[in-house]
Structure 1
Amino acid sequence: MAKLPGNAGVSVLGDKSLEFYRDPVSFCQKRIEKHRSRVFQCRVLNRPTAFVCSVQGMRELLCDKSNVFLKDPTDLMTNMYGDTMVTTNGEEACLLRLSLTSLFTGSCLNESNDYITSVCERCLKDLSLSGQPQCVYSAFKRLGTELVLGLFMNVRAEEQPELFQEIMQLCTQHWHGLISAPVNVKVPLWSSGFSTAMEARDRLMEIIKDKLENDTQGFVGSLGSLPLPDSSSASQHLLLFISALIPKALASLLTSFTLALSGNRQARRRALEDPDYLHTVLLEVQRLWPPFIGGRRIADQDSTLAGLSVPKDYGVIYISHSVHRDPEVFQEPDNFLPERWSGRNAGQEHFLCSFGNGPRSCIGTKLNDVFLKEACMYLLKNYDWCLDPPSQDLEYKWLPVSRPANPPTIAFTRLDRTRSDGSDTS
């Protein structure tokens, strides 16, 4: 059994958290090259930590040994959301997942389709109206927020604009607590970001509890009737489902999609006409630009990953960006090649970990796919688009959600129906 390459450093002084959070992609790439290994160690969050950047290591961590590498019960997600299926471990997590999965599959999912279509049309129909280039990330984030609040809370922007705006603002404040230091300080004229986030959470919980008590329709009504362990569980999970995480993930993927096909009319035409090709495009977008950089676990006992020893109490971080570019699995890993998913990598979607993997993967993945495909099809049917100005800095930042550091602007031109029906072959 081989030792993890790298050095776990000494307490505090040897910590590399700032370097990692400043640029996680560069942080990992330098060490992969230095150690000639896609699994290595260093000290992060003042804990010896194994970094997993290979498909093999990720699959072991999240699938084969998911009962060994557990969620950290002290992390910030628990502070922000309470005990949910995302933050708990063992039997409790399994039972919560079983109870909630039905809300994201089958008839519940199908009943959402008409609403998703209507929101996509309302939010995306005016992209070309001003004649000016659009900041697409902001437009897609608004789309995601409308979808989430309408589906999960029965709060629709066009019917309850004031309540919608209040919840949207509170979700933004709450989100900022996830990316600020967990210091709950409040003094006259100033509050810490974490303190403000906790206040936003308390107000959101008031709105959520009122909804659960008084609304029997749709998702919120179904959630309220589930056999959950206690009265607070439904509220905490609904807080998780309406949080800014989902709109930001959707905005990230849609932004990357529009950038990947910007100026490429042939690829857009093919994606419009061939659902299988659109599926491969979206897989490749997810592979190259995963919305979340990865996830963290704690070793509950001595174990191994990719043949390397991981001691008990070590932290383990899988890096989705690096896993998705593992050259052992993905040839030409840095190139955008949708056709790989109908060729060499056909049927290997389970090698992606944008939304986790294995028994603890995101239960909303299918719903997210419906969101994405509906929005992408609307764009493909109705618009040509290109970068405006043509030369922009598209260097990505990866935390807390991946997107170009400088928000890109794209010019949309409304297609006439003859062209969108295929009579224009240029």
Structure 2
Amino acid sequence: MSKLPGNAGVTVLGDKSVEFYRDPVSFYGQRMDRHRGRVFLSRILNRPTVFVCSVRGARELLCEKSNIFQKDPTDLMTNMYGDTIVTTNGEEASLLRLSFSSLFTGNSLESTKGYVTRICEQHLKDLSSRGQCSYSVYKSLGTQLVLGLFLNVNPDEQPELYQEISCLCTQHWHGLISAPVNVKVPMWSSGFSTALEAREKLMAIIKDKLQNDKHGLVGTLGSLPLPDSSSASQHLLLFISALIPKALASLLTSFTLALSGNQQVETRRKAQTDADYLGFVLLEVQRLWPPFIGGRRIASQDCTIAGFHVPKDYGAVYISHAVHRDPEVFEDPDSFRPERWGERNAGQQHLLCSFGNGPRSCIGVKLTDAFLKEACMYLLQHYDWCVDPSTQALQYKWLPVSRPANSPTISFSRLDENPPGHSGS
């Protein structure tokens, strides 16, 4: 057992939260170079925290020792969503996962296919006439997906309610990225205070839906074995939150950029005709541009990570961006190479942690995968595209979700309108 490299500094003064949140990739990169390793100690949120940037360490944290590394019961997710499958620990979390698993597998998952196909066509059929597309277009698509699937609310049928919920979800989301200060004075409210108000309004809408709508997933929730009367509404709040549309928009944006231009024509054609290869492309997009930078846990007892001693009550943060670029597992880790998933890394998708991993992984990952494949296949079958103008700055920001700092504009041209030999770029 070895001592962790790095140091936790002193209370408050030694905290590195601002530096980390300003540029997490530079933060971990500089420290990995300094300590010559992918596990190190720092201080975040005024708690000594182990940063885990290796596949081995992430597997231990999320899988092998998930019973030791617990969710923080005091974090903002609990304030914003209450006791849910994401925020609880131990047996309660396991029971909630068991209760909700039927919503995201089997017949329930199969029943969403028609709706997913319709909204993909609705949002993506006129891209060439608009002449551009960006993160915001994909986020709108994702918003309609979750509000339609989980609340039976669609913009064509209930435009005012749809718009109200969309705005409230955005306000609520901002509470997750605001300082947890509940202040409200005349003419001004803190972001956290506004988020809490939005939460109350959303909960009122959700409870009305649960009581009066017996169709679809919102109707199914009423028959699930849940621990108390508030559990269904708290989980619906989580399922319709801006978190999911932003994650989907992040991955779709990265897919579009990765396959943009003349140099990727063959990649687009192969992904269009080979479902397995499309899966490889999406794995590689997820590997290089995970929508979430990582996640945080608290050690409930003394233990080890990657051979280093971790004292009880230390924090532990896994950095998916770094884990996915671990050169011990991923050869040429910074290169976009979908073929790796059919070669050296075949069958190793379980090493990715974009949506967590192990017993606490995202319960909706199969729905997310189905949606991404449907949207990406629609794009591949109907369009060629390129970054336009080509001089756009495409540097990524990584918090709160990964995406280019400046939303890119893309020029789409329909395949059925292209003359022979034209690639739309």
1:145 to 143, 146, 151: 143
- Corresponding position: 1:53 with 2:91: no
> 1-side partners of 2:95 and 2:421: how far apart?
54
Structure 2 counterpart of 1:272 = 272
Structure 1 counterpart of 2:62 = 62
Structure 1 counterpart of 2:179 = 181
> 2-side partners of 1:314 and 1:275: how far apart?
43
> 2-side partners of 1:104 and 1:247: how far apart?
17
Structure 2 counterpart of 1:133 = 132
- Corresponding position: 1:38 with 2:38: yes
Structure 2 counterpart of 1:295 = 295
Given the two structures, how large is their TM-score scaled by the length of structure 2? 0.98
Look up the equivalent residue of 1:139 and give its one-letter code.
Answer: V
Q: Structure 1 pair 49/397, CA: closer, same or farther in 2 (3 Å)?
A: same
Q: CA deviation at 1:133?
A: 2.6
> 1-side partners of 2:374 and 2:417: how far apart?
18
Look up the equivalent residue of 1:154 and give its one-letter code.
Answer: N
Structure 2 counterpart of 1:257 = 255
> 1-side partners of 2:6 and 2:74: how far apart?
26
> 2-side partners of 1:73 and 1:425: how far apart?
55
Structure 2 counterpart of 1:363 = 363
Q: CA deviation at 1:374?
A: 0.4
Q: 3-state DSSP class of the match of 1:3?
A: coil
- Corresponding position: 1:158 with 2:156: yes
Structure 2 counterpart of 1:323 = 323
CA deviation string 1:387-413 (max 9, x = no partner): 000121111000000000011110011
CA deviation string 1:144-172 (max 9, x = no partner): 00000000111111111111100000000
Alignment of 1:160-239 (within 5 A): 160-239=158-237
Aligned length: 421
Look up the equivalent residue of 1:405 and give its one-letter code.
Answer: A
CA deviation string 1:74-129 (max 9, x = no partner): 00000000000110001111000100001100010000000000000001111111
Root-mean-square deviation over aligned CA pairs:
1.2
> 1-side partners of 2:20 and 2:236: how far apart?
31
Structure 2 counterpart of 1:343 = 343
Q: CA deviation at 1:40?
A: 0.4
Q: Which blocks of at least 5 consecutive residues in structure 1 are unaligned?
A: none
Alignment of 1:374-389 (within 5 A): 374-389=374-389
Q: CA deviation at 1:266?
A: 1.3
Q: CA deviation at 1:224?
A: 1.5
Given the two structures, how large is their TM-score scaled by the length of structure 1? 0.97
Q: CA deviation at 1:417?
A: 7.5
Q: CA deviation at 1:424?
A: 6.2
Q: CA deviation at 1:418?
A: 8.8
> 1-side partners of 2:225 and 2:417: how far apart?
49
> 2-side partners of 1:234 and 1:37: how far apart?
44
> 1-side partners of 2:155 and 2:348: how far apart?
39
- Percent identity, aligned pairs only? 75
Alignment of 1:68-79 (within 5 A): 68-79=68-79
> 1-side partners of 2:251 and 2:297: how far apart?
25
Look up the equivalent residue of 1:350 and give its one-letter code.
Answer: H
Look up the equivalent residue of 1:39 and give its one-letter code.
Answer: V
> 1-side partners of 2:410 and 2:111: how far apart?
33
Q: CA deviation at 1:425?
A: 9.4
CA deviation string 1:326-375 (max 9, x = no partner): 00000000000000000000000011000000000001000000110000
> 2-side partners of 1:128 and 1:165: how far apart?
26
Q: 3-state DSSP class of the match of 1:416?
A: helix
Structure 1 runs (4+) deviating above 3 angstroms are 423-426
Look up the equivalent residue of 2:132 and give its one-letter code.
Answer: P
Q: Structure 1 pair 417/115, CA: closer, same or farther in 2 (3 Å)?
A: farther
Structure 2 counterpart of 1:240 = 238
